[in-house]
Structure 1
Amino acid sequence: MRRFLLVCVLIITTGFSQAPPKDQLTIIVELDESPENFISEIESRLPRLEVVAQYDTIFNGVAVRGSVDELEKLARMDAVTNQHPVKTYRTQQEPLSFSTDTIRSLGNSSYTGRGVKVGVIDTGIDYSHPDLQINYRGGFDTVDFDNDPMETLTEGATVHGTHVAGVIGANGKMRGIAPDAEIYAYRALGPGGMGSSVQVIAAIEEAVEDGMDVINLSLGNDVNGPDWPTSHAVDRAIEMGTTVVVAAGNSGPDDWTVGSPATSPDAITVGAVALPSEMPVLEIGRRKIMLTPLLGSSKWSLTKKYPLHFAGKGEGEIENARGKIVVFERGIVPFYEKAEKAYRAGAEAAIIYNNEEGGFQGSLNGMNLPIPVVAVTKKEGEWLLEQKDQWAATVWEELDQRMAEFSSRGPITSSWAIKPDVVAPGVDIMSTVPGGYAPLQGTSMAAPHVAGLAALVKEAHPDWEPKKVKQALMSGAEVLDGVQPTEQGMGYIDIERSIEPSLLLDGKLEFGRVQDKFFRDSKTVTITNPTDKEVKVQMRQPGKNPGETWSVPGTTYISPGATEELQVELQISGSMLSDGVHEGYLVVESSSDEYHIPYLYIKESGTYAKVSGFELSRTLNDQVRYRFYLSEQTQKLSVDLYRSGTMVDQGRVLEIDNNHAGMVEGTIDTRKEWKGAYVAAVTATIDGEEFTYTFPVFF
């Protein structure tokens, strides 16, 4: 709970070696005791330090301001368990520059979110925007520690939080899902849309203390496990009565890519769907390449064929590019400089291909150029390099409703849970940004559709607790054909079915990891009839799969307002099944509707990362703190450090035997002066097999 305030302070997220010893800084420290006792100890032992905020609801901690010299003394106090923010969080946004109407695709309602408080934990909000002024009610900033959660408008400018807020509750030229909801902003991500785990947790506490009915978190990291601190903070907020909606992440289309805090079992985790649309495609010969515009790019409107011109990473000036499409490799030169060079050289458009696997998001940093600038994958870019004498044509393709390729997929390691829970529009979403409107894409844009819908449900049913709100949204969702549960959960959200559900279902059938030759287990599906009429319910088995035997209940009649618990049993003959994820749906038929309950089990093992979220950071008292997540128990684990670029071996820095699954953290005592960029190679031994993963580290 916030007790003290201070304007103009700074959180350091990457250590303290760069700050002069007399400079005034503000840090958040996590404690293993009550903040009151710790504050008393500071006042008596370190009177030059100033406590600017106190937290005791979601976690125990304080924000403290002082010189580096004094803060180093603070770090030696026994109660301090973590001296500064560690894990970096990013917005879950991808750039796009085409617009379409999405809200009508979700249905209609007379509810508008009136009287419902929605907290947007994000990059802040431009509350001066004419479409947000009416509904904005206040908030807090855990980056600068003041009462002004304004979007970053100067260096490292952001637009993300303002866009998210508009989807939820814009009320002006544009109208959001819940246009009469009360919008509060909690700025936990600063310049460039970056923030830390402790800033996010502090923002969650601020929102809970301010009495938010719904919180939206369009942010995340790459830790695919339920035990990360931000996931626990979300669980705690839900326990205290706040409905929490979280973006699944933009690391798709691979499985096991949903990241914390979307891994929270009780949060409403949201994936992204692309609605039917017309998209530009580059066609060379018989091959077609999808184009992803950078944020701020002009619309791709080329109508003729153009030759390609290759400009490397754009380090030098570009010649002979007039009337051509310039192709760059990502790296070294910023996107906006590449684009400007292409424009000055007379190019018709610029393509930037990734220098690592998959796609990427990028921005032109507010530069307005009359030529379009787009991104493609590394694979597509390298193929383009082979087409030196080819001309490229633009064609426009009609695309059906589909899962967005970038949308992160489940399941979740160690808990083996099905995520996401539902999906919503996340491609080509027009909303408010500082100074106007712009389209963006990402699960960041899908989550606020669901947060807005949660506000409508809460207005219609003010006595419903978060669990029931989640049940309503999931039960009201419509399953997309041909899409698996770990991609869409219980399906595409629907406004009317969620607000006035004819049934409330609770009970995803998560059977976990199956390692026995013969397996048998049962799960409970809880069904509530919220109507004033008796409902007849029948359950259909999933399609026959070799090695699976299902037992489902017969016809059940549920009285008005009553709840029934139905048992579903699964038997597995392991020898008849392949390794990996097995999933699908059971169908529940009621008197008037049809519902789909997802099921999942993992045979033996999956292709998930055994180690994720690895980080090393220097503490105030010059120790090195490590933290990472293990999806399985390891017999041995070692960490070797290499200099980035040269890959010169810096030696083994950590060895641990017999680690449990979940979060692992501790400190390393070392006198080595590590500075700059490194690569950590983490090797885990599981059942005699070694798995090695690399992570970037910066001191």
Structure 2
Amino acid sequence: MDYRRERLAVLLLFLTASLLATTTGVVAHNDNAPHRNYLIIVRKPYEYDQHVYKNVSSWHASLLSSVCDMAKEELAADPGALPRLIYSYRNVVNGFAARLSTDEVHRMSKMDWFVRAIPEKTYTLMTTHTPRVLGLTGPTIFNPGVWNRSNMGEGMIIGVLDGGISPGHPSFDGTGMPPPPAKWKGRCDFNGSACNNKLIGARSFYESAKWKWKGIDDPVLPIDESVHGTHVSSTAAGAFVPGANAMGSGIGTAAGMAPRAHLALYQVCFEDKGCDRDDILAAIDDAVDEGIDVLSMSLGDDSAGDFAADPIALGGFSSIMRGVFVCTAAGNNGPDPATVANEAPWLLTVAAATNDRRFVANVLLGDGAEISGESHYQPREYVSVQRPLVKDPGADGTCSNKSLLTADNVRGKIVLCHTGGDATNLEKGVMLRDAGADAFIIISPDFTGTVIQPKAHALPATQVEFLTAEKIEAYINSTQNPTAQLAFKGTEYGNRMSPVVAPFSSRGPSKQNQGIIKPDITGPGVNIIGGVPRPAGLAQPPNELAKKFDIMSGTSMAAPHISGIAALMKKAHPTWSPAAIKSAMMTTTDTRDHRRMPILDQDGKPANMFSLGAGFINPAKAMDPGLVYNLSAEDYIPYLCGLGYSNHEVNSIIHPAPPISCARLPVVQEKDLNYPSIAVILDQEPYVVKVNRAVTNVGRGKAVYVANVEAPASLSVTVMPDRLRFKKVNEVQAFTVTIGSSTGGPMEDGVVEGHLKWVSLKHVVRSPILVSSKKFFQGNSTATEPPQGR
């Protein structure tokens, strides 16, 4: 039995007896008081005696027994009661998770080994064609593509923390896959037919969750019908599936970003319940020991707070110490500012944008006007002719009142419905179908702008931009007999307006580290076709494979794209650190769309760095960046001290590294962390800031790079030295960027943006520069309304 998760009843009772025999001052108390799950942080350098305790679990049990009666809770009150110790962590934090009463937490706070008790918290999930769009395949022999240069990620192991997975899905077919590398120490809890050389790991972490939620029983197989985990896993490392489609749309060969990589799924989220913090920590704790190369997490909390209490930040730091690349979703709370999640600088934080594929379903009005729209499901048997067009008979126009959707009102007609009301658009489609409507037109919300996220509805439908509502309604009001027809035009590729930042994608600035631009980078996250246990919205898909794929949108979909690309890069560059891979991605991004115009936000305006980060991922360029801004795990420690974290908090974050004292370290300010982007605040005289950076040559030996700065007239930016000469690979050279107001006084603009480019004969290494006239927040977490970017 795995000692890390074994039930400790016998051991705990033995330790209790031992401690009572040797310790004075422990007072018995009521063990049946109400309990909650807590994460207990233990003081460093408080260590356990390995001659007394055989492992860290038994040591943590002894600490717990010093304040708690270790008998089981009353079975009459809780038939499923278990020992109090839920998880004993080895890598992610110096501490353990336990069920405690408030009285016991108070007693524990008096112990010399105690640092902090953090109450339970629930986190949320952030919810065919993209390999070619991203240049992974390569169209010619002169551009062979990233897949050829990385052998499609063969031998890499991508660990996914998410919901469950659909075993036996064609995206996880192991045919032709080699066995996992010898370093793999994990396990798959499915049977032999579901586990194979593709899906090598599948486990469920629920020990903390089961105390809060009914229906999570022991044992739990990592199966989840919510589709999220299957979709993101297939996006990161799905096998080739010819003929894949979503309700008949987007037909082609589906594949993940790293189709030859192995996949390990760690279920920490449960349908309609969420993701428990202590289970997340336990999964990462095991994953880093089991040999993963990349950790992909499409989950988080935009109000997670400081890094010392956030499981993503804590587990992410432990991961990078082991050389694991950590990729996270930025969150789905856009377009509001200061909503970005997963802000720690050792995480890659991914925003979402559109790709160049559209599922075209236009509206032809009776007056000859054509309105652009999109539809996920385009039934071939639908007869496209002019039919009566009506608005929702309800006052709000949302088609949410079933009692008004009668046959007299909608039978044989096309119904115009606004998004919103008391029903989802999928539910509205069912109500309209049952009432005999021929089809319906969905008006997108105003805030989504030009980005449409079509669904597969129970009857023919199309979704159009909010700005078109006025035109359609004006036509309806202009005639006694308005008509319309839906024109399904299939899947179109090559949309030159793409990518466009998704409206839901969370925006910066970061609340926890104002000197770092977050999100870091943008990837495809709108209308992504991926594997699912079942499609949503339509009971009878048009063909067999359509039952296995569906379209989903979210930063959850963008993050696994980048995770898979990270596996490809790690395969091609096995000696690169996680920070080097991150830098290579960020300094080679695209900031222009397919028209060669600035990438737009959903409102049609140029996207700023708070929404786009460094830009849209370009894997082919990232494979050969020329220079990288490198960082080791140890380099983040003076930065954490500079943020004002206490010694205990820093030691908790960097566990299991040796304890440190911030007073003995040179403090690194946020602006001087050797990050691939630059953010400064000019709010004090003399309105000049010096930023220090160093770059490592990862090109081919000798090279000369010249600094090129693009900045608005309101800024003065100089680089010293402005020319870097490298003689060999892995050579490091430092430079200083001096940024100030061009007038010498306060900046008039709130936020301005620019770029620093190091240019050689072969490479352009671009770092974003963001300058603000004042702090976005007072302290690291008290929000004020941030200045808007351009």
Q: Same fold (TM over 0.5)?
A: yes
The alpha-carbon deviation at position 256 of structure 1 amounts to 2.8
Query: What SS does structure 2 have at the residue aligned with 1:177?
Result: coil
Name the counterpart of 1:415. 513
Name the counterpart of 2:50. none
Name the counterpart of 1:490. 614
**2:61 equivalent among 39, 47, 53:** 39
Cα shift readout 1:90-132 (whole Å, capped 9, x = no counterpart): x322xxxxx7454453332222222222111111221321321
Q: How does 1:511-590 map to 2 (within 5 A)?
A: 511-561=679-729, 562-572=731-741, 573=743, 575=745, 577-590=747-760
Aligned equivalents of 1:300, 1:62: Cα separation in 2:
59
Q: How does 1:49-128 map to 2 (within 5 A)?
A: 49-50=82-83, 51-60=85-94, 62=96, 78=108, 82=117, 85-89=120-124, 91-93=125-127, 100-107=129-136, 108=145, 109-110=147-148, 111=150, 112-128=152-168
Q: Which amino acid aligns with 1:218?
A: S
The alpha-carbon deviation at position 454 of structure 1 amounts to 0.9
Q: How does 1:200-239 map to 2 (within 5 A)?
A: 200-223=280-303, 227=307, 229-233=310-314, 234-239=316-321
Sort the Cα spacing of 1:190 and 1:74 in 2 relative to 1 into closer, same or farther, 3 A: farther
2:533 counterpart of 1:434: yes
Name the counterpart of 2:328. 246
Aligned equivalents of 2:518, 2:774: Cα separation in 1:
20
Q: Which amino acid aligns with 1:92?
A: M
The alpha-carbon deviation at position 210 of structure 1 amounts to 2.4
Name the counterpart of 2:222. 150
2:431 counterpart of 1:341: yes
Is the CA contact 1:53–1:64 (under 8 Å) kept in the aligned structure 2? yes
Q: Which amino acid aligns with 1:662?
A: S
Query: What SS does structure 1 have at the residue aligned with 2:235?
Result: helix
Is the CA contact 1:474–1:490 (under 8 Å) kept in the aligned structure 2? yes
2:626 counterpart of 1:502: yes
Cα shift readout 1:203-240 (whole Å, capped 9, x = no counterpart): 33232232321111112333387646135322343234
Query: What SS does structure 1 have at the residue aligned with 2:570?
Result: helix
Q: Which has the larger radius of gyration?
A: 2
Sort the Cα spacing of 1:391 and 1:202 in 2 relative to 1 into closer, same or farther, 3 A: farther
Q: Which amino acid aligns with 1:588?
A: W
Sort the Cα spacing of 1:518 and 1:301 in 2 relative to 1 into closer, same or farther, 3 A: farther
Aligned equivalents of 1:414, 1:165: Cα separation in 2:
29
TM-score w.r.t. the length of structure 1 is 0.72
The alpha-carbon deviation at position 177 of structure 1 amounts to 1.6
Query: What SS does structure 2 have at the residue aligned with 1:402?
Result: coil
Relative to its length, the structure with more strand (as a share) is 1
Unpaired segments ≥5 residues, structure 1: 7-21, 94-98, 607-630, 634-660, 664-683, 692-699
Of all paired residues, the percent bearing the same amino acid is 23
Is the CA contact 2:361–2:374 (under 8 Å) kept in the aligned structure 1? no
Is the CA contact 1:309–1:326 (under 8 Å) kept in the aligned structure 2? yes
Aligned equivalents of 1:381, 1:38: Cα separation in 2:
62
Name the counterpart of 1:673. none
Cα shift readout 1:34-53 (whole Å, capped 9, x = no counterpart): 76555235567132142453
Q: How does 1:358-437 map to 2 (within 5 A)?
A: 369-372=458-461, 374=463, 389=477, 398-406=495-503, 407-416=505-514, 417-435=516-534, 436-437=548-549
Sort the Cα spacing of 1:274 and 1:74 in 2 relative to 1 into closer, same or farther, 3 A: same
Is the CA contact 1:472–1:504 (under 8 Å) kept in the aligned structure 2? yes
Aligned equivalents of 1:345, 1:185: Cα separation in 2:
43
Aligned equivalents of 1:25, 1:175: Cα separation in 2:
49
The alpha-carbon deviation at position 470 of structure 1 amounts to 1.4
Is the CA contact 1:632–1:662 (under 8 Å) kept in the aligned structure 2? yes
Q: Which amino acid aligns with 1:408?
A: S
2:203 counterpart of 1:140: yes
Query: What SS does structure 2 have at the residue aligned with 1:222?
Result: coil
Query: What SS does structure 1 have at the residue aligned with 2:120?
Result: coil
Is the CA contact 1:418–1:508 (under 8 Å) kept in the aligned structure 2? no
The alpha-carbon deviation at position 577 of structure 1 amounts to 3.0
Query: What SS does structure 2 have at the residue aligned with 1:459?
Result: helix
TM-score w.r.t. the length of structure 2 is 0.64
Q: How does 1:288-307 map to 2 (within 5 A)?
A: 307=389
Query: What SS does structure 2 have at the residue aligned with 1:192?
Result: coil
Aligned equivalents of 2:41, 2:381: Cα separation in 1:
55
The worse-fitting range, judged by mean Cα deviation, of 173-182 and 78-87 is 78-87
Name the counterpart of 1:646. none
- State the Cα RMSD in Å: 4.1
Query: What SS does structure 2 have at the residue aligned with 1:46?
Result: coil
Sort the Cα spacing of 1:350 and 1:489 in 2 relative to 1 into closer, same or farther, 3 A: same
Aligned equivalents of 1:24, 1:362: Cα separation in 2:
49
The worse-fitting range, judged by mean Cα deviation, of 264-273 and 447-456 is 264-273
Query: What SS does structure 2 have at the residue aligned with 1:121?
Result: strand
Is the CA contact 1:116–1:182 (under 8 Å) kept in the aligned structure 2? yes
Aligned equivalents of 2:584, 2:768: Cα separation in 1:
16
Is the CA contact 1:2–1:53 (under 8 Å) kept in the aligned structure 2? no
Aligned equivalents of 1:290, 1:118: Cα separation in 2:
39
Query: What SS does structure 1 have at the residue aligned with 2:733?
Result: strand
Aligned equivalents of 1:196, 1:257: Cα separation in 2:
21
The alpha-carbon deviation at position 293 of structure 1 amounts to 6.1
Relative to its length, the structure with more helix (as a share) is 2
Is the CA contact 1:218–1:247 (under 8 Å) kept in the aligned structure 2? yes
Work out the number of aligned pairs and report it.
Answer: 582
